[in-house]
Each structure stands twice: as C-alpha cells, then as structure tokens.
Copies of this chain bind each other. A is one copy, B any other.
Amino acid sequence: MSVMPLIVQKFGGTSLANAEKIHRAARRAIRAKLEGYRVVLVVSAMGKTTDKLVDLAREVCSDPPKRELDMLLTTGEQVSIALMAMAIDAAGHEAISLTAGQLGLVSDSAHTRARIQRISRERIESELAAGKIVIVAGFQGTDDTGEITTLGRGASDTTATALAAVLDGTRCEIYTDVDGVYTADPRLVPQARKIDRISYDAMLEMAAAGASVMHSRAIEFGAKFEVPIYVQSSLTDAKGTMIMPETVGMEAIAVRGVTLKEDLAVVALNGVPNTPGVAARVFAEIAKNHILVDDIVQNMYDDGHFANLGFSTNADGAGEARAVCERLAAEIGIERVEIDEGVSKVSAVGLGMRTHTGIAATMFDALSKARVNIDNISTSEIVISCIVRREDGPKALRCLHEAFGLDKEPDDHNVMS
C-alpha cells in the first residue's frame, strides 16, 4: 500500500482574523485532502492576538518573566487550532488539533527564542492514517521537562517547514497577506514584479536584507531538507512564489530583487587598538546586552595598528548600544564612539553576482546618478548593501530596481528563473 503524499499548509494571523477567514482556510485544507493529499495545517494566533497579549502582560508587569510570557502567548495559537478543527468539523470533515506538547515538538529551554530540537512523527502520522486533517499550533514548543516555550515572533513559518521536513512533505504552503515574493516592496516600487521561483539562498538574503515575507529560520529549514516552500495569498488563487533548491538557470539572473531595511542606526567605533581578540570582546559584550547586529564592517589604518569598526543595528536599540560601546571604549581604549540613527540599508540580492561582474559598479553608479550618498558598504557572496540616509531610502530602492532591469521579465523566464 502506497502512502498518500503529504503537504503542510500554514496560515498566518491575518488569514485567520475572523470566523469567515477561518472557514476559508478550512476549505483550502479540505480541497487539498480531496485532491488526495494527507494535510497538516499549521496556524498562527488570530489577527493581532499576540500583540494584544503582549500589551496585557506589560500592563501587569513592566518586565514579565520570559517563562510566563511563553505561557501567556502560546494560548493564541491554541485558540486558533481549536477553532480551525471546529471549522473543518462544521464542513463535514474530520480534524484534530494538537499542541506542541501533544504532538511531541521538543525545543530547548530558551524561553521566547527556543530552537526546535526534535519532532515526533508518531502522533501526527497516526491521526493522518485515521483520515484526519491534523492542525498544529505554530510558534510553540515544549522542552524535555514539559515547560512551554515559544520559537520567536513569526516562527509559525518555522514550525511549518520543520514539520514538512520531518514528515517528508511534498511541499510547504505558506498562506499570507501578500501573494508572493517581489523584486522589491510593491508599496515603494510600483514597477515591482512577482518572482515565480527563487532559491533558498537568495530568499534568505532578501529576508535578511529587509524583505518581510517569511521568517528566515523557516527558509533555512526548507533549504536544509530541500522542502519546496510555496508562498501564496490566502485571499486569492493567484500564482505565488516557489522557494526551492537552486537550479542551473537561476545564476543567469544577476540580481533577483532589491530590498530596503529602514530604521537602522550605524555605530562607528573609531580608533580601536588592533590587537587580537578586541573585535571578539566588543561583539561578546554587544551580544550579552541583546543588541541586534545587522552588518559589520571593519577597516584598518596607521599600518594596521588601529581599526575603524562599524556595525548597524535597529534604531530603537541605539541608546543601549551607545551606553555599552562607551563603557567598552573606556575599558579597551577606543578613541571615539559615533552613532548615526537616521539611516536605512538598500541591498541588491542575486545568485548571479557570483558569476556576473560589474554589479557593484552598476549599483554605485545608479545611486550616484540619483544623488544618493553612500555611508557604508558591505558585501557577501550574493548581496551588496549600502547604508544611505533614511530619507533617500525609497528613491534608492526605485533607482536600483530600474538599474538592474527588474521591471522587465527576465530573459530566462521560460527556461528556469
């Protein structure tokens, strides 16, 4: 007897905001079941539930214990799984809802940012074998002692791709309020086009550079286990974007998309003594104080005896970053700490950068012609990022979108994009 193929469908909060939307999501799951799939649903909390619960916690306690915050926030997904099971039941199909504890999704014990350690197949597979649609609470885990954890904001995507990986899913479908991945944010660049197919690596860099379609860790799971991830609108049947293993044709496209990450601050440590371990010391202290670090750039001067060390961080953490860095400056003997809070980062992402030359030149030239000043530059294998003034961000994004020809269909469109 052959086992039917399995898909995981994940619905985010905006796709579950009321009873009508829950029924719509339920119908999509039932349709997939009728098409012959075993169906696992992963759901987030309804609408703005998680934000409301966080507000409630803040009303009671200015700095709530993380364990209790997890206890509180996981109720949002538990409400969703129960209602989804009821909606499927109301439509005449069998379903069962499962918390992380019930299905055996075990994480470490790092409350509010736990990592998945293992997922048991047993319970889910037996419920699927009984003909049920299985509904799993996203975002949550339990540690080995039965404590309730959460996997970080937006981590229902991670629950979904991890389940698809463990259960040998054919694919993981992410239903959300956008209908796919675009060459740039359509709210800022009207000419932006929807991308049909994108590699995990390019998607990861787009996400890291500010494209807020999906949680990065979810894409990493997809990449590690080669589970195709299909991002689609929950409201329409329009074609979405497939995030998938890299194929030969993908490198033909130099730049896949451009992104803008706003509300950053750049911290510049000038005159850092360039002795071994200094950078490590600096970033250990930064990490200990839970300051998020975006990009790091360092360059030398005075025959390599001193360095200028810079990093970007979220603007709302700039105050704490300054306090930590000034304390460090006094201890290590750094000449000067400068913080610029009014900046954004514009990035170009594409596998083709590996083989195409002149991408950086095209980028700097386009920004220069648009009279956008560049503060910092950082690059990785498939990304080039520039720090620009915040007010120049949208203009910079639009000029790059045009400079890389992203408003036109790519040449290889009919081959493999």
A87 at the interface (CB under 8 A from B): yes
Residues from chain B with Cβ under 8 Å of A358 in the complex = none
Interface centre among A57, A74, A75, A97 (most CB of B within 10 A): A75
B61 touches A90 (CB 8 A): yes
Interface string of A90-107 (1 = CB under 8 A from B): 100000110101100000
User: Would B83 and A60 count as touching, CB distance under 8 A?
Assistant: yes
Binding site for B on A (CB under 8 A): 19, 22-23, 53, 56-57, 59-62, 64-65, 67-69, 71-72, 74-75, 78-79, 81-83, 85-87, 89-90, 96-97, 99, 101-102, 146-148
Instruction: List chain B residues, Cβ under 8 A from A69.
Output: 82, 86
**A/B interface sample: 18 pairs, CB < 8 A:** A19-B56, A19-B60, A22-B60, A23-B60, A60-B83, A61-B89, A65-B89, A67-B96, A68-B85, A68-B86, A68-B89, A71-B81, A72-B78, A72-B82, A75-B75, A78-B78, A99-B148, A101-B146
Q: Are B53 and A79 in contact (CB under 8 A)?
A: yes
A78: which B residues are within 8 A, CB to CB? 71-72, 74-75, 78
A147 smallest CB distance to B (angstroms): 8
Q: In the assembled complex, which residues on chain B have CB atoms less than 8 Å from the CB atom of A59?
A: 19
Number of identical monomers bound together in the oligomeric complex: 2
Residues A61 and B75 in contact, CB atoms below 8 Å apart: no
Bound together, the chains give a CA A86 to CA B72 distance in angstroms of 10
A19–B58 Cα distance when bound, in Å, is 10
Cβ-defined partner of A57 (8 Å) among B86, B146, B147: B86
CA distance A79 to B64 in the complex (A): 13
B19, B57, B86, B102: the one contacting A65 at CB < 8 Å is B86
Q: Is the CB of A71 within 8 A of B57?
A: no
**B-chain residues with CB within 8 Å of residue A53 when the two chains form the complex:** 79
Complex contact A90–B146 (CB within 8 A): no
Chain B residues lying within 8 Å of A89, measured Cβ to Cβ, are 61, 64-65, 68
Question: Is A57 within 8 A of B83, CB to CB?
Answer: yes
Give 14 A-B pairs besides A19-B60, A22-B60, A72-B79 with Cβ atoms closer than 8 angstroms. A19-B59, A57-B83, A61-B87, A61-B89, A64-B86, A65-B86, A68-B83, A71-B78, A71-B82, A71-B99, A72-B78, A75-B82, A78-B78, A102-B147
Query: Chain B residues near A97 (CB, 8 Å)?
Result: 68, 71
Residues of B within 8 A of A62 (CB): 90
Complex interface: chain B residues within 8 A of A75 (CB): 75, 78-79, 82
A71 to B43: give the CA distance in the assembly, Å.
14
Q: Which residue of B lies closest to A147 (CB)?
A: B102
| CB proximity of A206 to chain B, nearest CB, Å | 35
Nearest Cβ in chain B — how far from A157, in angstroms?
A: 22
Cross-chain contact of A86 among B60, B86, B96 (Cβ < 8 A): B60
Question: Could you tell me the distance between the alpha carbons of A65 and B72 in the complex, rounded to whole angstroms?
Answer: 24
Assembly CA distance A100 to B102 (angstroms)? 14
Chain A to chain B: the 4 pairs with minimum beta-carbon distance, closest first = A72-B82, A61-B86, A75-B75, A71-B82
Contacts of A74 in B (CB 8 A): 78
